[in-house]
Amino acid sequence: MFFTAKSILKRDPAAKSLMMVILTYPGLHALWFHRVAHWLHIHHRYLLAAIISRWSAKRTDIFIAPGAQIGRGVFIDHGVGVVIGETAIIDDGVTILHGVTLGARHAVTERRHPHIESYSFIGAHAQILGNITIGANSKVGANAVVLNDVPAYSTAVGNPARLV
């Protein structure tokens, strides 16, 4: 997790020191709790994973379902109101701003949440819904509602989101 803290320090101009990031960034704290909850989840300790996840959400105001798969160096900036669903996949180096939802559109038994590929940027209050993919190095604008795949190296804005 020090890799993630160092990654945040490099990417956030407001971060003045590694110690500041470690002690005061709720997005980093939520990711730490998620790592524990996810480990418990994959080892079939679902109740304890859910309890840790809920406790973390109350403490950080960031909800990450225990089954979500999250890569290295993910930066949840500010974090307030972020919701990441159970079958979501977030690859390495993704930046997520406050109020973002990685949610489902339909109740289905297979994967129902988005896959965010490496080094993508998700703007504040964006809603990315369903079993879709946000391609590597893509950007999703603030308040966008994304219902379809976004190709790599693209930018999606609006409601419903369109490529620009």
Task: Tell me phi and psi for residue 97, to 5 degrees.
Answer: -90, 175
Query: Helix H segments across 43-114?
Result: 46-60
51 in Cβ contact with 70 (< 8 Å): no
Catalytic residue numbers read: 98
- Name which of 60, 99, 103 is nearest 85 in CA terms: 103
Sign of the alpha-carbon torsion through 139, 126, 40, 36: positive
Task: Tell me phi and psi for residue 61, to 5 degrees.
Answer: 65, 25
Residue 69 three-state SS: strand
